[in-house]
Amino acid sequence: MLDSARWLIDGSENDITLAIWPLEAGALGANLERASQRGVNITTLCLANCPQKCELCRGRVYRHTVESIQDERWLMVIPDGQEILAGGINPDGETQAVRTHQTLLVVLATLYIHQYIALATLLHDLGSRRGDLLGQQTINVLATLAPGVISAEWLDRLQ
């Protein structure tokens, strides 16, 4: 999976969108640095929500907690909005990944990362005023999207 990620990063021309954990960010660091030196814009969602800049993630880095489904570390690499490598690394180090040019999947993954960053940024700005500013309809929508997953605690972690 990391070899495929390196190949995609090395072939990027304009931009790279990433969702990554520090371990994989370190493994891909040299490739990302070379891409940056070529003028490639890098947007990184640090999935570990490191409390401070760790020097492993590259580009415009947004640190937010994303809840994985099965205790996996996720990796998503989207070069130039043309292709996606998406995979998971389980605690034993086993990986499962998919790589595709399928437009719908590329767009969905890119939107997921961008919208996650946007939502977390907005929640951060709302801070403690969130409860006063969100209407009951918004709270109901959030509760029905993922019962038991989307909660006040989830919003706090995302913030």
Among candidate residues 49, 111, 40, 118, the one with its CA nearest the CA of residue 80: 40
Residue 38 has pLDDT above 90, yes or no: yes
Q: Is 17 left (phi over 0), alpha (psi -120 to 50) or beta?
A: beta
Tell me, what's the pLDDT at 126?
A: 78
- Average pLDDT across the chain, whole number: 84
Tell me, what's the pLDDT at 70?
A: 57
Tell me, what's the pLDDT at 75?
A: 94
Model confidence over 90-144: pLDDT tens digits?
A: 888 899 999 999 999 999 999 989 988 888 788 778 777 767 777 778 767 766 7
Which CATH number does the domain 2-158 belong to among 3.40.50.300, 3.30.870.10, 1.10.3720.10, 3.50.50.60?
A: 3.30.870.10
Q: Count each helix (H run) and each strand (E run) in the chain, helices first.
A: 7, 6
Q: CB–CB of 75/19 below 8 Å?
A: yes
Q: CB–CB of 45/62 below 8 Å?
A: yes
What is the pTM (predicted TM-score) of this model?
0.81
Distance CA 80, CA 78 (A): 7
Q: Is 15 left (phi over 0), alpha (psi -120 to 50) or beta?
A: beta
